[in-house]
Structure 1
Amino acid sequence: MADPSPIDLQKALKGMDYPASKDDLVKRAEDNGADPSVMETLQGLPDRQFDSPADVNKDASN
């Protein structure tokens, strides 16, 4: 399965308030009906606080 693009990630996180925890990101993506690849990527993020969408994209692309 291909990694989701930064655009796909941000669509899944639409309406997210930052800073946000990994759990907050996963819940928002679930609520927004994210694709399985997006969910898998978010669930694989480190368990920390994210300060911005760019912060999420940086960790998601590693």
Structure 2
Amino acid sequence: LITTTVAIAIATTTTIKLIPTTITTVTTRMTTTMITNDNNNDNNRNNDNKVYAHIKKLY
């Protein structure tokens, strides 16, 4: 019983210690994804404008 209690205590402590790292990792990934999406949106908009300008020249 003591061994089990100690094992649970160690596991719990380890998990609690990992929480800040996990939060940081998730936040960083979310931020990176948001920035990537913003850049992709900008690129798509620029490409659309180029295509539109090209089509306007044709007609």
Question: Which range, TM-score by smaller chain?
Answer: under 0.3
Normalized against structure 1, the TM-score is what?
Answer: 0.21
Normalized against structure 2, the TM-score is what?
Answer: 0.22
- Select the structure that is richer in strand: 1
Q: Which of the two has higher C-alpha Rg?
A: 2
Q: Which has the higher contact order (CA 8 A, sep 6+)?
A: 1
